[in-house]
Amino acid sequence: MRLFRRLSHSGLAALFMLSLPLAQAQAQDCVQFSGMKHCAVGAAKLVVEDKALHALSEDASGKDGVSVDTERASNWSAGLSHEPSSEGKDTTVKTVISNGKVVSTSTVTTTDEGQEFAASFVDANGKSTTYSAMVFLKGKLVASVSGLASGSVGAKSFPTFGKPTCTILTPKACRKLCGGPGMDCAYCDRPCFHSVNNDVWLDGNGRVPHLDHSYESPFNGFSLGSVAKAAPEIVVGDLLVLVADAPSAGEAQDSDQVVVQSTAKAVSLSNESVSHR
């Protein structure tokens, strides 16, 4: 098992993945939000409302969404929520583009039973690399697995105990499921945070940059690695990190764009931020 420690923190995926020129082709429907340029992808319509940016879609193919110009960011984060489709399952893909090339993707599939997380990464030379999945609880590493194939499912989350501390649904959709008067639905106003990072980690080679994706989940039970096992080991955590096993090229692979696409009726970004070197 390969262990990482982050020192700083500021074929389904291929169906959703956009090349940079196609994302740019949507420039006619763009808005400024959180100090960044956001452009519609596919047939999505962008609406800024209630301190959030919503990419609305009538198409469940997963090709619609929003592209965020991150301008060579080493870190991007946002509260990410969605309005479910009528399919009973929704998939959201984040594609990270640097210098016109895809350097990582994240695929999250959500059902009533939980979430599945998959990722793909390239190394400093642009070649596909394996990745590790790690679960943290209050900042402490509680479980990890390495050597996961690029594009494969590396983790699954399950509801275990306690009330969620964040939501993956829009506030309206969350409250509809939370319950009636008298129920504590405060978590419906706090979307779960996702982040895309090119951070310095401490591994066997010292201080080395690695690409990673981090997620909060409303489901606090996680299984790692082969989630198809009949009785997977479940650990309790509040943060999932998927990180490339091979080092990145550092600043040369900082992001120009983060493209978010989903099969949901709407995907929403809030409290969005970026950091630069």
| pLDDT over 80 at 74, yes or no | yes
**CA dist 195 → 79, 120, 211, 239, 270 (Å):** 9, 15, 11, 11, 12
User: Can you read off the two tokens belonging to residue 129?
Assistant: 């690399």
| pLDDT over 60 at 12, yes or no | no
Q: Are 264 and 85 in contact (CB under 8 A)?
A: yes
- Tell me the pLDDT of the chain averaged across its residues: 86
Residues 6+ apart with CB under 8 A from 64: 40, 41, 42, 43, 44, 55, 57, 261, 262
| Res. 56 pLDDT band, cuts 50 70 90 | very high
Mean pLDDT of 57-73: 94
Which tens digits make up the pLDDT trace of 94-134? 999 999 999 999 999 998 888 999 999 999 999 999 999 99
pLDDT at 226: 64
How buried is 158 (Cβ within 10 angstroms: 0-12 exposed, 13-18 middle, 19+ buried)?
middle
Which tens digits make up the pLDDT trace of 193-228? 999 999 888 776 678 999 999 999 888 889 998 654
User: Can you read off the two tokens belonging to residue 255?
Assistant: 């992001």
